[in-house]
Structure 1
């Protein structure tokens, strides 16, 4: 290969690599912390971030009920989460006075979620005194997404949510009953109980509530976050997450949640 052709190929390769880096490492993208107050829920504001996957009805796959029943499910879930937005977002968390709670909404087959979820998990390990995360399942990308979300929530009933969540986020395979059964065995989870719990009313309700929260905050896809009282749609850099966390600590996110 002559030197001119080699140089051209190297240049093209560098351009492609640079573009890929910008797509996959949002911290390389220029960002400015600009926030816009939301009319509803009162006290919250939004920051629009980067790439998003999805954009479907968050209630897809929750059952085969007719439209009247689905409408009733949506209305009931919306009423539940609206009664106390912060409890619905951060239920199960008991943040210390120095911690800011974060609600993460993701889909196992959203490529941006796979990147962001790993980074958020690393961040919580690095700064446990500043952040606590509640993980919400928001399966928007079809039946496999819905099946994986149900399996992870069922695994949570056996104290295996983190293990299932990590494996599903890393897996190149689409969720099927056979794959989930093998995964349960591999992780020491009772497979029969897992299947039973996946079809339980409690897990359906949990998915409905996360879908209702997505509607409240007008999420159009995943990933999505709520950090304290700041709503983020799309992939976001670690730097910007840290800036928002510090802002929430300074401004007292608790004041909004006490009034919620």
Structure 2
């Protein structure tokens, strides 16, 4: 890829395409947000993978998904299983890219709010395993079932911190040219579309061999 430099793109499979992830968010400033494109470009690896140092030959994997994208649901489970199987061999970083309407936006905001209570993974596991769409009533029941404070969840959902996290993920999607979900950045390899577990493992091993961190 010429932009951003140092990254490469490989073909993936099926995607769910959508629209602007900010349509439907409360507040005029949220429907036409000023995406932090310049800031993200200055620290693209930190924006993708976080700034915590990685141990040894760990390969970071940034996943961009929508809770109601059927391909994302399958791939999210496969990525979680891969992380468990590889131990510290990969580090998963989950980005919310809610492209499929109001329920997607509500679920994304709730997931990021749950993360503030240390419950992102539990929330994610429960939500991707249910056919129900996110509603305030369902989120309240889900919060109670995983020991999350629902009043705090609701307060955090509309916080500037949560909205800024979605803006950052959206800016990354703009920079990498993602037109739908799922999408991945594995080290320096960019993949748009659902990808087999064997291909994911091959890319992780290639990134480990080549040294992904030279792009950062």
After TM superposition, the score normalised by the length of structure 1 is: 0.80
8 Å contact kept, 2:24–2:102: yes
Tell whether 2:93 aligns with 1:131.
Answer: no
8 Å contact kept, 1:62–1:207: no
Residue 158 of structure 1 and its aligned partner are, at CA, apart by 0.7
Tell whether 2:79 aligns with 1:116.
Answer: no
Q: Structure 1 unaligned segments of length 5 or more: list them.
A: 1-37
- How many pairs does the alignment contain? 216
**Runs of 4+ deviating beyond 4 Å:** none
Residues 7-63 of structure 1 show CA distances to partners (whole Å, capped at 9, x for unaligned) of xxxxxxxxxxxxxxxxxxxxxxxxxxxxxxx11000001011100012322433344
Q: How does 1:124-203 map to 2 (within 5 A)?
A: 124-203=83-162
User: 2:195, 2:32 → 1: CA distance?
Assistant: 33
Tell whether 2:43 aligns with 1:84.
Answer: yes
CA distance change for structure 1 residues 66 and 149 in 2, over 3 Å: closer, same or farther?
Answer: closer
Residue 161 of structure 1 and its aligned partner are, at CA, apart by 0.7
Tell whether 2:193 aligns with 1:255.
Answer: no
Q: Structure 2 unaligned segments of length 5 or more: list them.
A: none
8 Å contact kept, 2:21–2:105: no
**Please, which moves more after superposition, 84-93 or 119-128?**
84-93
User: 2:143, 2:29 → 1: CA distance?
Assistant: 32
User: 2:5, 2:131 → 1: CA distance?
Assistant: 40
Residue 216 of structure 1 and its aligned partner are, at CA, apart by 0.5
After TM superposition, the score normalised by the length of structure 2 is: 0.95
Higher relative contact order, chain-length normalized (CA < 8 Å, sep 6+) = 2
Q: How does 1:1-260 map to 2 (within 5 A)?
A: 38-65=1-28, 70=32, 73-74=34-35, 77-91=36-50, 93-257=52-216
Q: Higher Cα Rg: structure 1 or 2?
A: 1
